[in-house]
Amino acid sequence: MDKYEIAGVSVGMLVLAVLFGWIFTAPYLSNQGLGRTPGLIIGGTLTDAPTDFTDLNDSVQGPMMMKQSGFPPFVHYLSWVGTEEGVISATRPDGGLWAKRVRERGGNGFLRIGEETYAMEATEILDNEVRLAMMAQWAARSGRTLDEPLYPGSEPLNEWEVFFWTPRDNAMAASH
């Protein structure tokens, strides 16, 4: 092998190492810079959704993972709160990737909460009264009021977009 072939193989190996590192480490836990970079692997065990998601609020701490159906199979960390009928998630009104993908692809996806992965469908909550009531539950779980931002530089929580996730049939999910 001459030095150009060695350099080419070395560059190829470096690109593969970076790609695999990204696949297995992203998404990162933050909401700025690389923290908004999606990963590819959701993991967990595909499980029938519970009849009441409120039990998960106490038993599972931290964010859930969301993977939208379709390609590319990006996974995002989301803050959440469980209700009797489903799961509330919210995002800044900044045109972010995951909210845009949910709108464009119809909402079918998977949520991983703890070690369980559920086949779910997201509905954007556009009715302002319902959105604010759901956002109040989300804000309470994060220890904030609706008038405060989640972190410096973000909008107050009362301006955030809300998505409500309800269970869909796992047989249907397996076909996707």
In a domain, 83, yes or no: yes
In a domain, 86, yes or no: yes
Pick out the chain residues at pLDDT < 70.
Answer: 19-40, 170-176
In a domain, 24, yes or no: no
Number of domains in the chain: 1
DSSP letter for 5, please: H
Q: What is the pLDDT of residue 39?
A: 61
Alpha carbon distances (Å) from 89 to 11, 12, 152, 168, 171: 41, 39, 20, 17, 24
Q: Is the pTM value of this prediction over 0.85? A: no
DSSP letter for 173, please: H
Alpha carbon distances (Å) from 18 to 12, 13, 27, 90, 171: 10, 9, 14, 31, 35
Q: What is the pLDDT of residue 175?
A: 39
* Domain CATH code at residue 44: 2.30.110.10
In a domain, 32, yes or no: no
Locus of tokens 């929580």: 157
Q: Which domain holds residue 155?
A: 38-174
Q: What is the pLDDT of residue 22?
A: 59
In a domain, 22, yes or no: no
Which letter, b or e, does each residue of 95-107 get, where b requires 16 or more Cβ atoms within 10 Å of its Cβ? Answer: eeebbebbeeeeb
- Give me the phi and psi of 118, to 5 degrees please: -120, 140
Both tokens of residue 127?
């009715």
In a domain, 61, yes or no: yes
In a domain, 64, yes or no: yes
In a domain, 74, yes or no: yes
Amino acid at 78: L
Q: What is the pLDDT of residue 160?
A: 92
